[in-house]
Amino acid sequence: MSLPNTIPGVLIADAKAHPDKIAIENEDGSRVTSAELLSQCRRAAAAFIAYGIKPGERIAIWAQNNTPWIVATIGVQMMGGVMVPLNTRLKGREAAYILDRSTSRLLFTVRDFLKTDYPALLADESLPKLERTVILEGSGSPEESWENFLTLGDSVAAETVDAAYAKLKDDDVSDILFTSGTTGKPKGALSTHYQTVRTSRAWVNSVGLRDSDRYLIVNPFFHSFGYKSGWLACLIAEATILPQAVFEAEAVLNRIAHDKVSVLPGAPTLYQSMLVSPALKNTDLSSLRMAVTGAAVVPRQLVERMHSELGFKIVLTGYGLTESSGTVSICDAGDSIERVSQTSGKAIPGLELRSVDPQGKDVPPGEAGEILVRGFNIVKAYLDDPKATAEAIDKDGWFRTGDIGIIDADGYIRITDRAKDMFIVGGFNCYPAETEGLLLEHPDIAQVAVVGVPDERMGEVAKAFVILRPGASLTEAELIAWARKMMANYKVPRYVDFVDTLPTTASGKVQRFELRK
pLDDT digits (tens, 9 = 90+) for 153-174: 999 999 999 999 999 999 999 9
Look at residues 308, 310, 295, 334 and name the one whose alpha carbon lies nearest to residue 428.
Answer: 295
CATH fold of 423-516: GMP Synthetase; Chain A, domain 3 (3.30.300)
User: Average pLDDT, stretch 104-111?
Assistant: 97
**End-to-end distance of the chain based on CA atoms, in angstroms?**
58
Quick: pLDDT tens for 499-510: 998 887 544 567
Look at residues 90, 93, 127 and name the one whose alpha carbon lies nearest to residue 107.
Answer: 127
The CATH 3.30.300.30 portion of the chain extends over 423-516
How confident is residue 1, by pLDDT bands cut at 50, 70 and 90? low
- Predicted local confidence at residue 419, as pLDDT: 61
User: Average pLDDT, stretch 100-111?
Assistant: 97
Q: Among 33-37, 230-234, 416-420, which is the least confidently predicted range?
A: 416-420
Give Cα 218 to chain centroid, integer Å. Answer: 11
Q: Residue 429 pairs with which residues in a beta bridge?
A: 424
Q: What are the backbone angles phi and psi of residue 456, rounded to the nearest 5°?
A: -60, -40
For the cut 90, the answer to whether the pLDDT of residue 276 exceeds it is: no
The CATH 3.40.50.980 portion of the chain extends over 7-25+32-192
pTM, 2 dp: 0.87
From residue 278, alpha-carbon distances to 102, 275, 375 in Å are 44, 8, 45
- Predicted local confidence at residue 142, as pLDDT: 80
- Predicted local confidence at residue 2, as pLDDT: 83
Answer yes or no: are the C-beta atoms of 287 and 214 closer than 8 Å: yes
User: Average pLDDT, stretch 466-487?
Assistant: 94
How confident is residue 33, by pLDDT bands cut at 50, 70 and 90? very high
Average pLDDT, the chain: 93
Quick: pLDDT tens for 171-205: 999 999 998 654 568 999 999 999 999 999 999 99
Dihedral sign from CA coordinates of 132, 135, 217, 340? positive
Quick: pLDDT tens for 436-459: 878 988 999 988 989 999 998 888
The CATH 3.40.50.12780 portion of the chain extends over 247-417
- Predicted local confidence at residue 350, as pLDDT: 96
For the cut 90, the answer to whether the pLDDT of residue 272 exceeds it is: no
- Predicted local confidence at residue 70, as pLDDT: 98
Total number of residues shown for the chain: 517
> Using CA atoms, how far apart are residues 132 and 143, in angstroms rounded to an integer?
11
CATH of 7-25+32-192, one of 3.30.300.30, 3.40.50.980, 3.30.499.10, 2.60.40.10: 3.40.50.980
> Using CA atoms, how far apart are residues 317 and 413, in angstroms rounded to an integer?
11
Answer yes or no: are the C-beta atoms of 431 and 181 closer than 8 Å: yes
Decide if domain 247-417 falls under CATH 3.40.50.12780.
Answer: yes
- Predicted local confidence at residue 297, as pLDDT: 64
DSSP state letter for 155: G
Share of the chain above pLDDT 70, in %: 97
> Using CA atoms, how far apart are residues 460 and 439, in angstroms rounded to an integer?
19
Answer yes or no: are the C-beta atoms of 180 and 61 closer than 8 Å: no
Quick: pLDDT tens for 203-223: 999 999 999 999 999 999 999
- Predicted local confidence at residue 184, as pLDDT: 63
